[in-house]
């Protein structure tokens, strides 16, 4: 009789603990997250850790709009804890799946949406406000280790680009196609899709974070004085009439 009572008591306690976990307010989880990732701030948090929303998501002092999340029940079967996220702000519309490993590696899948170039100007090696345009993301897969991309597959498109520095000029639209090569890291091919510039380039990002961007630019209309003046910053033309460029560094 005592064993029977003990079993029912254990079952009741287990059910109660599961109930507490299922209804755990998201505000407790966000406090834990913000303590470990101080660059992330969430305001107006509502819901539970399984399904909820934040009125404002801020990263490194920049607001990205409202954030909604739903636990991805498929993720545990791959050994990761994951969520489906939706982000909506002024000009921002992003959604996708994110999962994390115990080592801190982040796995993004099916990332779709668009955002202004100004949202990522922190990572653009130009003075603030130098470039405008819209970035469209169609990423099948993106893996970040310690904040550095180590695998990627998909397309990033820049449309309606305009340069405000060192001179004002319309640049057109471009596309970067990304793929991963085992052992060598991420490779990207960069092409123009419309506009006054003809562009062919390649991007290589090694697993250790070393990157190299190289290619060639040319004016589609040799009589376009604004574009010709801009290209002079890249140096003289080669024998084929192109302006070659190459940049490298460490992520």
In the chain, count of helices (H) and strands (E)?
3, 14
- The predicted pLDDT at position 176 comes to 96
State the burial class of residue 186 (Cβ atoms within 10 Å of its Cβ: 0-12, 13-18, 19+): buried
pLDDT along the chain (251 residues), means of 10: 48 44 64 75 86 88 89 67 88 89 83 91 76 95 88 96 87 96 89 94 92 93 87 82 88 79
Segment holding 231, helix H or strand E: helix 225-231
pTM score, whole prediction: 0.81
Nearby residues of 230 by Cβ (< 8 Å), 6 or more positions away:
163, 166, 167, 169
CA gyration radius, the chain: 24
Q: What is the rounded distance in angstroms from the CA atom of residue 226 to the CA atom of residue 229?
A: 5
Least Cα distance to 192 among 174, 213, 172 occurs for 174
SS3 sequence of 145-183: ECCEEEEEEEEEEEEEEEECCCCCEEEEEEEEEEEEECC
Q: What is the rounded distance in angstroms from the CA atom of residue 118 to the CA atom of residue 124?
A: 9
- The predicted pLDDT at position 19 comes to 44
- The predicted pLDDT at position 75 comes to 61
Annotated domain spans of the chain: 25-98, 105-251
Report which DSSP code applies to 235.
Answer: -
- The predicted pLDDT at position 140 comes to 96
Q: What is the rounded distance in angstroms from the CA atom of residue 117 to the CA atom of residue 124?
A: 9
């Amino acid at each position: 009789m005592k064993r029977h009572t003990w079993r029912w008591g254990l079952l009741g306690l287990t059910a109660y603990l599961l109930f507490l976990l299922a209804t755990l307010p998201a505000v407790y989880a966000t406090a834990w997250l913000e303590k470990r990732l101080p660059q992330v701030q969430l305001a107006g948090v509502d819901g539970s850790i399984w399904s909820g929303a934040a009125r404002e998501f801020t990263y490194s002092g920049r607001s990205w709009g409202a954030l909604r999340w739903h636990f991805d029940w498929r993720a545990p079967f791959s050994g990761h804890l994951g969520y489906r996220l939706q982000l909506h702000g002024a000009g921002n519309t992003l959604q996708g799946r994110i999962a994390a490993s115990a080592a801190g590696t982040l796995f993004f899948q099916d990332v779709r949406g668009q955002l202004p170039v100004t949202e990522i100007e922190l990572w653009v090696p130009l003075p603030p406000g130098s470039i405008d345009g819209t970035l469209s993301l169609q990423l099948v897969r993106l893996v970040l280790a310690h904040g550095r991309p180590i695998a990627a597959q998909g397309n990033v498109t820049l449309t309606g680009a305009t340069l405000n520095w060192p001179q004002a000029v319309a640049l057109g639209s471009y596309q970067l196609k990304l793929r991963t090569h085992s052992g060598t890291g991420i490779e990207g091919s960069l092409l123009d899709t419309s506009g006054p510039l003809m562009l062919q380039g390649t991007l290589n990002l090694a697993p250790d974070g070393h990157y190299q961007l190289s290619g060639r630019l040319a004016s589609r209309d040799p009589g376009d004085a604004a574009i010709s003046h801009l290209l002079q910053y890249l140096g003289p033309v080669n024998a084929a009439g192109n302006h070659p460029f190459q940049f490298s560094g460490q992520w």
